[in-house]
Amino acid sequence: MSLALIDYGAGNLHSVHNALKAAGATDIRVTDDPDVVAKADRIVLPGVGAFAHCMAALSAIEGMIAAMEQRVRVEATPFLGICVGMQLLADKGVEHGSTSGLGWIGGTVRAIPPAPDLKIPHMGWNDVVPGDSAPLIEHGEAYFLHGYHFDAADAADVLATTDHIGTLVAAVGRDNIMGVQFHPEKSQAYGIEFLKRFLGWMP
């Protein structure tokens, strides 16, 4: 089983690669080649930094988004977005102005609203609370680092939440597409077990 870990200059590739390997992946292809993505059995899109920068970097790779669209949305290959890689699934992000996302899952990525005693960014370990029908997500603690959050258009697409003086989305998904706001590669045993389930996922 081949896994394409997309390299677009905006992800924590080394740590994600090591976590996937620890979870049992044996054919991990760190790649910026759309042809590799078009043939992969699993696709992972990491992401750190600002929404607009990450979307621009992904869009700058000729043919990459088209290959992702074909392989994921048409051919139903299992897909995982991590942190900003999850946020890019939204219709748009409003960090540094409005930027269109992939539009695979309806929603807008917005700044976490300020509140008394609220620390932003949301950083550190926090509970992940899965919804009633969330595939792959189990209750536990994961590591988060983000100042923006996924405001989903349809509550049915929210697979898990976390509490940071208010409810924030921890995971979204639909059919063969999943995104997590937390970092599996920094979440120790919880993250590795999650990635194991993703590697065996047959949506």
Residues with active-site annotation: 83, 183, 185
Helix then strand then coil, in percent of the chain rounded to 5, is 30, 35, 40
Distance CA 57, CA 59 (A): 5
Distance CA 109, CA 120 (A): 15
Do 140 and 181 form a contact (C-beta atoms < 8 A)? no
Distance CA 185, CA 13 (A): 10
Which residue has tokens 């996924």? Answer: 150
Distance CA 178, CA 79 (A): 6
